[in-house]
Structure 1
Amino acid sequence: MSGHSKWHNIQGRKNAQDAKRGKIFQKIAHDLYVAAKAGGVDPEMNASLRLVVEKAKAANMPKENIQRALDKASGAGGQKFEEVTYEGYGTAGVAILVETSTDNINRTVSSIRNSFKHFGGALGTTGSVAFQFDRKGYLVINRLDFPNLDEDTVLEAALEAGAEDVQTQADVFEIYTLPADFQTVEASLTDAGYQFEESEVTMIAQNPMSISEDDREKLDKLVDELEENEDVLAVYTTAN
């Protein structure tokens, strides 16, 4: 893994979004959906889902919002959703992946395409940017929560649990896993007493790129509009 910290990008987005309660609920709904799709909708049988449900309750997310995300993952109510990933480029050539879950592909692709156009981007073809990302399990331990925890201890515990890599930052430990190992690693470290600031299966840019402030502003507006789309689960970019 490169020395780039995904956490710094997450923090940057969080700082801009904390005032937007809907954004917080959307992120949790995405995590609920992903956890439920991977391990089932019963929190008692799915450790990853149980952790996200606890996060949802701590954020005072309405019960109906939680249930809606779980129903979407299970197909309850007869709705049939398809997972589709769209690829494109934003300002300054930044690669963008948009993960969606939709019951109407025509509606979704039209909306996604329009969002790209609004901010000078362009929707691409399948495979046009996906090769610039790696799917990884990602867990973050806040060092302030464990002030006496050292790098060697975390590295040993994570690798024994099946993690692929650990990166130490000033404020957090970042743990990376193969997607298939994510739930096992998360459950093992949780049982060992660790708590996570973030825990998800996500996309990691292989070579993050720096962009100007003007381009950043345009990119953020594009990402915001995409994230406001009810069909969108997550948006990933190669911007650093």
Structure 2
Amino acid sequence: MILDNVSVSYDSTLVLQRVSFAVGEGDIVAVLGPSGCGKTTLLKAILGLVPHEGKIEMSNGRVGYMPQRDTLFDWMNVVDNAALPLRLKGTKKSEARGKALHHLERVGLSDWAFERVYHLSGGMRQRLALARALVSNSKLLLMDEPFASVDAQTRRRLQLYFSQFLHVEGITTLLVTHSVEEAVFLSDEVVLLSSRPARVRATFKVELPKPRTLHVFRDPQYQTMVEEILRQVLAFGT
């Protein structure tokens, strides 16, 4: 995916200003920036939900989206939650369930397929949200602070899980986060945005081995990169 001079305005207020960067096939790019700078607006522009200037180029139109809080329906079972995007497109229930079951197996939830969602833990809900995002065979995954609503231990487990999963599956991913540590741990590149109107302040290549494990958090290279990005964040008041 390539973003070339992407700008977004709400009425007369400029939110994004000539934002440009690329996400290579199979890569994970993390976007950092201050609250309210326009990170979620950037995702909405990619999804085609808000008008924009500039170019957004994608290899295909199949995009999965994980919002800040899951939009699962507690009164439905797990497989029907995962199948919902297909059902909304008119896919027959049996076919949609079959595809959803495949993705539930990918995320380790096949044994829970016919349980109600309210039985799931926070981490399991996020894995279900991932299955739903991928059920249409999405090749690009947009993640908007997907771990913000879970506790610290669950967040760490999900970071480890997603690092392994996205590496093995080779899914191109754009991740919005407020956490420098999370950005460095999960991504191949970190893009730092300014305050509004948001523009690219800096980019950082992350050259740590993948898939990443708990040992990465003690790696001097990881710690050095986190410190370097934090210095930039604090210097710009973000």
Q: TM-score with structure 2 length normalisation?
A: 0.25
Q: TM-score with structure 1 length normalisation?
A: 0.25
Which structure is higher in RCO with an 8 Å CA cutoff and minimum separation 6? Answer: 2
The structure that is helix-richer by fraction is 1
